[in-house]
Amino acid sequence: MTKTLLRGRILTFHAEPQSPDDTGAFTYLEDGAILIDAGRIEALGDWSDLSHHEAQVIDHRPHLLMPGFIDTHIHFPQVQVIASWGAQLLDWLNNYTFPAEIAFADQNHADTMARAFFDLLTGHGTTTAMAFCSVHTQSVDAYFSEAARRNMAMVGGKVMMDRNAPKGLTDTPQSSYEDTKAMIDKWHGVGRARYAITPRFAITSTRAQLEIAGNLVAEHPGCFVQTHLSENHAEIAFTKELFPEALDYLGVYERYGLLGPKTFLGHAIHLEPREIDLLADTGSRPVFCPTSNLFLGSGLFDDAGLRGRGIANAIATDVGAGTSYSMLQTLNEGYKVLQLQGQALHPFRAFHWITRGNAVAMGMQDEIGTLDAGTSADVVVLDSAATHAMALRMQAAETLAEELFVLMMLGDDRAVVQTYVAGTGQKPGAVA
């Protein structure tokens, strides 16, 4: 098999930058090269040191090459729900999300949407995501089948929900156990796929189903867990009404053994002190979803406060309440959410967050999130002058940090020149 040598300016992180001056946290090469063999990175270095290798050379100069972006919370069945007008969380679910998800019982529809979904991910530079599928196993099969065709490292799972959802979109505790078990056996650890046990959120699961979910976690400790937490005041109040015995919202998941370092909790905005203590003690991962939180008027995520407790926060698009598939635009809105609270998001930390940072939160930094030798060759190529406004601003940019800030404030899919998944270039619509 022919090796590939990607040439361009290269940026990869080794640690989370602790300040704007922490240049030791990353490697930046003005004229660098990534040597790829059989889908993995064989070497990273200066062009002058690697150019002697026999390989197909793809010259991306003057563009910037980085690890592919990682999205830790997104809803696959909501590809046709994004940009639905005017509601807060619970009404939005009932009016838009649930009706759209019912259609995923049809395998042809699920397959068609999967192709579109993965085109959108790679078109925006995302090479790994953790996604909610619908309640139907057809949606899980469509999701992982398309991921396998593209050799993408993807996490996903069938939502478990046996109440407070319309007919055609609920399961039972037993059927959710059997279906989840079957999907884990079929997909988890096959190729680059990983499964996430997925009780949608406390409101849509009975105690019996949450107990079943906890049993699945105990039986399959290698799987992820994904759900939602404290996104909206009405949601929190309804949860407390449904589970009066719980100490708080997070206490519901605690009671059923659903917390731990592989548990990803979307939103986590309105937290009580005990819940913050519990997140820190269990190593569970809150997920910051800035475009969604602003779109639904849910609230402001306290990144600095949680980080100050040693909690590892992930960041994500949360499409379809999220308003963009772009992790660049996610950083844009995240920056603003944090500004409103007097918190800073420097571009070095921002780009670490959507690459190595999310990989570390997932425990997958040895596989994705960097350009280190031995990792998968998941790479995004970025053009910081992709639009007229960006090009004009870049004429005055003098530093790498300024360039990254231009990308995160003005960039979107137009700034993505190419996305490589395991060394193979991806173009929207290219995978038939």
pLDDT at residue 428, as a whole number: 54
| Global pTM value | 0.97
pLDDT at residue 97, as a whole number: 87
Please calculate the CA angle 399-405-411 and round it to the nearest 5 degrees: 125
The helix-helix angle for 137-150 and 173-187 (nearest 10°) equals 10
* b/e sequence 202-223, b meaning 16+ C-beta within 10 Å: bbbbbeebbbbbbbbbeebeeb
Positions of the chain with pLDDT under 50 = 429-432
**Listed residue (361, 362, 379) closest to 370, CA to CA:** 379
The helix-helix angle for 173-187 and 207-219 (nearest 10°) equals 20
> Looking at residue 11, what DSSP letter applies?
E
Residue for token digits 């939502």?
159
**What Rg value do the Cα atoms of the chain yield, rounded?**
21
CA dihedral 66, 335, 307, 28 (to 10 degrees): 20
Tokens linked to 282? 């269990």
Alpha-carbon gap, residue 120 to 107, rounded angstroms: 20
pLDDT at residue 218, as a whole number: 98
Alpha-carbon gap, residue 24 to 207, rounded angstroms: 49
Strand partners, 287: 266, 314
pLDDT at residue 260, as a whole number: 98
pLDDT at residue 431, as a whole number: 41
> Looking at residue 411, what DSSP letter applies?
-
Using one digit for the tens of pLDDT, what is the confidence trace for 28-40? 999 999 999 999 9
Give me the count of residues in the chain.
432
